[in-house]
């Protein structure tokens, strides 16, 4: 390097040092109510992190230290966390990425910091077809939730900053991280009451998974912003005047619905942007003492409804009964003079801080024991999930997710004690919520003094009395009757005890059989046989032997070398083919399947769940037995596959190829008219020369829904056909249709 270049580099490094220092000063400014001791702790963590990450840069080219500073600032500014959490946020990547060890962290910052950093440090990435690395990392992080909730809060801040800076990553990496965020981290933020974090995570995930739809909604919101603001000013004016007259100290904000929330509503209801009436909500935040919160919020509700007619079905009282994540607010939907429904949220300043900063804000308002107990209760449920040592990381993640996004119902014990359960809960969910023994021995219940079966679905306001019997035991059928993670885990745990007892008999049977074939009873041979029969665990293997569901005479097919088993080279299994044939051939970072061309002699096919056609954004998923399946990026299964099974996913794209017809589904909604179906079929067969695979129409009270499967050449061909349908009189909406019920990837 010549002196001139070296001088230029030194100038850049000096500039960077100043910018890093400015970023740190910004972090200190964002840290509220800090003492001198807090400042010293944060400064010490910053110095250690700067030194540890000194020569490391991010994908964007900027110094790595910007990332920990940004994560720490999110913890301080957007979550309201204290000095220990901020220091740990600055250090969160040091153990994983640098020479710093957990012992160094403990020596410098104490055992609490070590526990937090350990929870934030990923497990080694070793490929295993039975477990997702993402799921294992997630489980490790959640393991620390009962010891220190700050681990999860810092991890959410880390994920939020990674999503904000995702633009510098490869497109396949963007998609994987976005799917993982939507699948696990956004629901977790929701469960912890971090609504602004949850909304931003979902919006950023949508920006990378559905970029066109994101841009479309974003531009629609921008184009209607001025009209919306004028409407809001007129709407809130009389309410403000009345509140000022009453002497309230308050603030009125208008909150626009998040882009992901609008997209979810459009998708679920099959409606365009223009038909979503609650694009925004008006929030009234009153500054009032805690003992007057409830009465003042209801008084403000009365003032609002003096001006505007409320919808009685849309009143939500989360002040009398807060949500399980601590959210408190009074929601009503009222009719404006312009004939539009408007959601009004009424809450105190304390409630608003808890709604924005979630669990972190609860530490500030610890007076109410009921608030604390809701989180203690949730953490106790997580401990219950941890107790099941037999479950793998995937099972854990699936069961944990049940506890995240579920809406709630409120039911009562015979003595009037309130219990919060997920929507769809049954008698068994309630019984296990009371106690494990009550659940295991439950034979029925009286709901509102009426006898009901175990499968009865509860409703808010129900009062229950559980009926038990000492002779009752859980059975496999019960898993179909429950929705709560706690009940599922307890039932599985009881069933596993029974299975283990039966498996012990199976073990004895196998020992005798192996002796007969001169095969050693060793852990290596048992592992081999589990693979041979395609079973997930030793317990399941023994259980099936005891039940007579495995043909042990097949032991003759296996080569026996001095009592040790090994596969005959001529025979192979699908599972081994995945391990030994397909996986080693694929470089998941560098390879791309060019659809229409040969890919390393590995079979690939279009997935039935989303029927990709040329022009769709797609990826490949390596299956156990059917080669690679090509899925659309917005396939109903994509979020699941890209987040939990990312190690089996590979990039794919279309290429110019001979015209091949492929199946695509179209859903059409509208007002039923004579000859409408004939007109649609005429467009398909005569005007566009398209072949139909199937067609079905259902009509109810003059409204119809049609589902048509057609054979088209590519996305452009499909979109032209859909556009033609939209022009038919009576047709209100035309959308692409996926078989969401067919979730076999």
Q: Are residues 727 and 582 in the same domain?
A: no
- For strand 341-348 and strand 280-286, is the pairing parallel, antiparallel, or unpaired? parallel
Tokens read off for 21 = 């220092």
Q: Are residues 45 and 183 in the same domain?
A: yes
**362 is a domain residue:** no
pLDDT confidence of residue 544: 85
pLDDT confidence of residue 397: 59
Asked if pLDDT for residue 150 goes beyond 60, the answer is yes
CA proximity to 486, closest of 379, 612, 355, 357? 379
Measured CA to CA, the distance from residue 586 to residue 312 in angstroms comes to: 58
Write the pLDDT tens digit of every residue in 33-42.
788 898 999 9
Give the angle 347-186-228 at the CA atoms, nearest 5°: 50
Residue 271's alpha-carbon distances to 114, 266, 740, in angstroms, are 50, 5, 17
Q: Are residues 64 and 51 in the same domain?
A: yes
**554 is a domain residue:** yes
Q: Are residues 190 and 103 in the same domain?
A: yes
pLDDT confidence of residue 595: 82
**451 is a domain residue:** no
Q: Are residues 563 and 581 in the same domain?
A: no
What would the mean pLDDT of 529-553 be, rounded to a whole number? 81
Write the pLDDT tens digit of every residue in 301-313.
999 999 999 988 8
| Percent above pLDDT 70 for the chain | 83
CA proximity to 189, closest of 211, 215, 218, 158? 158
pLDDT confidence of residue 205: 93
3-state SS string for 18-58: HHHHHHHHHHHHHCCCCCHHHHHHHHHHHHHHHHHCCCCEC
Give the number of domains in the chain: 4
CB 719 within 8 A of CB 665: no
Q: Which residue has the tokens 């003096």?
A: 306
Q: Which of 602, 628, 654 is the last residue of a domain?
A: 654
Of 390-394, 407-411, 506-510, 599-603, which has the strongest mean pLDDT? 506-510
Measured CA to CA, the distance from residue 669 to residue 707 in angstroms comes to: 9
**621 is a domain residue:** yes
594 against 319, higher pLDDT? 319
Q: Are residues 52 and 104 in the same domain?
A: yes
Q: Which of 511, 545, 571 is the last residue of a domain?
A: 571
Q: Are residues 566 and 586 in the same domain?
A: no
CA proximity to 418, closest of 384, 375, 463? 463
Q: Are residues 635 and 532 in the same domain?
A: no
What would the mean pLDDT of 361-372 be, rounded to a whole number? 48
Examine the residue annotation and report whether 96 is marked as an active-site residue of this protein.
yes
- Number of neighbours of residue 708 by Cβ within 10 angstroms: 23
User: What's the distance, Cα to Cα, between the start and end of the chain in Å?
Assistant: 54
CA proximity to 466, closest of 424, 495, 489, 436? 436
551 against 18, higher pLDDT? 18
pLDDT confidence of residue 57: 83
Measured CA to CA, the distance from residue 235 to residue 334 in angstroms comes to: 11
**303 is a domain residue:** no
Measured CA to CA, the distance from residue 298 to residue 330 in angstroms comes to: 8
Q: Are residues 11 and 148 in the same domain?
A: yes
The one-character DSSP state at 608 is: T
Q: Which of 654, 689, 704 is the last residue of a domain?
A: 654
φ/ψ of 669, rounded to 5, equals -125, 150
Q: Give me the chain's average pLDDT, please.
A: 81
Measured CA to CA, the distance from residue 510 to residue 488 in angstroms comes to: 31
**pLDDT-based confidence at residue 395 (cuts at 50, 70, 90):** low
Catalytic residue (one of 97, 356, 395, 705): 97
**276 is a domain residue:** no
- Domain containing residue 515: 494-571
Measured CA to CA, the distance from residue 180 to residue 143 in angstroms comes to: 19
- DSSP E strand boundaries for 328-463: 330-335, 341-348, 408-412, 418-422, 442-447, 450-452
595 against 47, higher pLDDT? 47
φ/ψ of 181, rounded to 5, equals -65, -45
Q: Are residues 614 and 671 in the same domain?
A: no
**348 is a domain residue:** no
Asked if pLDDT for residue 587 goes beyond 80, the answer is no
- Number of neighbours of residue 662 by Cβ within 10 angstroms: 17
pLDDT confidence of residue 367: 41
Q: Are residues 32 and 161 in the same domain?
A: yes
**pLDDT-based confidence at residue 739 (cuts at 50, 70, 90):** low
Give the CATH number for residue 130. Answer: 1.10.3210.10
Catalytic residue (one of 6, 96, 477, 742): 96
CA proximity to 694, closest of 744, 643, 737, 723? 737
The dihedral of CA 58, 63, 64, 68: what is its sign?
A: negative
Measured CA to CA, the distance from residue 308 to residue 339 in angstroms comes to: 11
Q: Are residues 527 and 581 in the same domain?
A: no
**36 is a domain residue:** yes
């Amino acid at each position: 390097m010549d002196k001139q270049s070296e001088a230029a580099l030194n100038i850049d490094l000096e500039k960077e040092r100043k910018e890093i220092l400015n970023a740190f000063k910004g972090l200190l400014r964002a840290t509220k109510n800090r003492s001198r001791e807090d400042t010293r702790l944060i400064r010490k963590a910053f110095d250690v992190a700067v030194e540890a990450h000194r020569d490391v840069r991010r994908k964007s080219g900027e110094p790595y230290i910007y990332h920990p500073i940004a994560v720490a600032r999110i913890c301080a500014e957007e979550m309201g966390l204290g000095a220990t959490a901020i220091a740990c946020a600055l250090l969160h990547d040091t153990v994983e990425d640098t020479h710093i060890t957990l012992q160094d962290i403990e020596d410098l910052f104490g055992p609490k910091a070590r526990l937090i950093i350990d929870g934030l440090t990923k497990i080694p990435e070793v490929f295993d077809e039975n477990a997702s690395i993402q799921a294992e990392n997630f489980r490790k992080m959640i393991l620390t939730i009962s010891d220190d909730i700050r681990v999860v809060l810092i991890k959410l801040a880390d994920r939020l900053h990674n999503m904000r800076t995702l633009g510098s990553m490869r497109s396949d990496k963007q998609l994987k991280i976005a799917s993982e965020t939507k699948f696990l981290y956004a629901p977790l933020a929701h469960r912890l009451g971090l609504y602004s974090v949850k909304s931003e995570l979902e919006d950023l995930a949508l920006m990378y998974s559905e970029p066109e739809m994101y841009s479309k909604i974003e531009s629609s919101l921008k184009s209607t912003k001025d009209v919306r603001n004028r409407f809001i000013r007129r709407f809130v004016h009389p309410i403000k005047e009345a509140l000022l007259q009453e002497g309230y100290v308050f603030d009125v904000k208008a909150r626009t619905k998040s882009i992901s929330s609008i997209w979810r509503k459009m998708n679920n209801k099959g409606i365009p942007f223009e038909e979503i009436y609650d694009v925004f909500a008006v929030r009234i935040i009153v500054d009032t003492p805690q003992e007057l919160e409830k009465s003042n919020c209801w008084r403000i509700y009365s003032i609002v409804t003096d001006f505007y007619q409320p919808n009685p079905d849309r009143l939500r009282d989360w002040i009398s009964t807060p949500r399980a994540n601590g959210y408190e607010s009074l929601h009503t939907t009222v009719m404006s003079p312009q004939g539009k429904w408007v959601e009004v949220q009424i809450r105190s300043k304390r409630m608003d801080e808890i709604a924005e900063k979630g669990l972190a804000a609860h530490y500030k308002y610890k007076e109410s024991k009921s608030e604390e107990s809701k989180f203690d209760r949730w953490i106790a449920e997580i401990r219950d999930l941890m107790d099941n040592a037999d479950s793998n990381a995937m099972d854990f993640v699936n069961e944990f997710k049940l506890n995240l996004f579920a809406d709630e119902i409120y039911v009562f014990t015979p003595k009037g004690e309130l219990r919060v359960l997920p929507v769809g809960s049954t008698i068994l969910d309630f019984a296990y919520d009371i106690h494990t023994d009550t659940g295991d021995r439950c034979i029925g219940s009286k709901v509102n003094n009426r006898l009901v079966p175990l499968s009865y679905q509860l409703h808010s306001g129900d009062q229950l009395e559980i009926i038990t019997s000492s002779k009752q035991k859980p059975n496999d059928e019960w898993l179909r009757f429950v929705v709560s993670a706690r009940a599922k885990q307890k039932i599985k745990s009881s069933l596993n005890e029974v299975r283990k007892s039966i498996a012990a008999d199976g073990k004895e049977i196998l020992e005798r059989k192996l002796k007969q074939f001169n095969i050693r009873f060793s852990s290596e041979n048992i592992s081999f046989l589990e693979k041979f029969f395609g079973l997930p665990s030793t317990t399941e293997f023994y259980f099936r032997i005891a039940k007579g569901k495995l043909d042990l005479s097949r032991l003759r097919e296996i080569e026996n070398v001095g009592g040790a088993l090994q596969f005959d080279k001529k025979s192979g299994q699908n599972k081994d083919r995945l391990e030994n044939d397909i996986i080693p051939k694929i470089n998941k970072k560098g390879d791309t399947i060019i659809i229409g061309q040969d890919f390393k002699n590995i079979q690939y096919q279009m997935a039935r769940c989303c029927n990709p056609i040329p022009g769709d954004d797609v990826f490949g998923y390596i299956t156990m037995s059917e080669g690679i399946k090509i899925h659309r990026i917005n396939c109903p299964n994509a979020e699941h596959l890209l987040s939990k099974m990312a190690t089996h996913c590979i990039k794919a794209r279309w290429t110019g190829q001979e015209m091949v017809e492929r199946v695509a589904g179209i859903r059409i909604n509208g007002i039923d008219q004579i000859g409408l179906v004939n007109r649609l079929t005429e467009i398909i067969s005569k005007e566009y020369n398209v072949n139909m695979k199937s067609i079905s129409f259902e009509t109810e009270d003059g409204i119809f829904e049609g589902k048509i499967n057609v054979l088209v050449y590519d996305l452009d061909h499909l979109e032209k056909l859909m556009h033609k349908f939209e022009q038919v009189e009576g047709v209100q909406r035309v959308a692409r249709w996926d078989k969401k019920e067919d979730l076999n990837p």
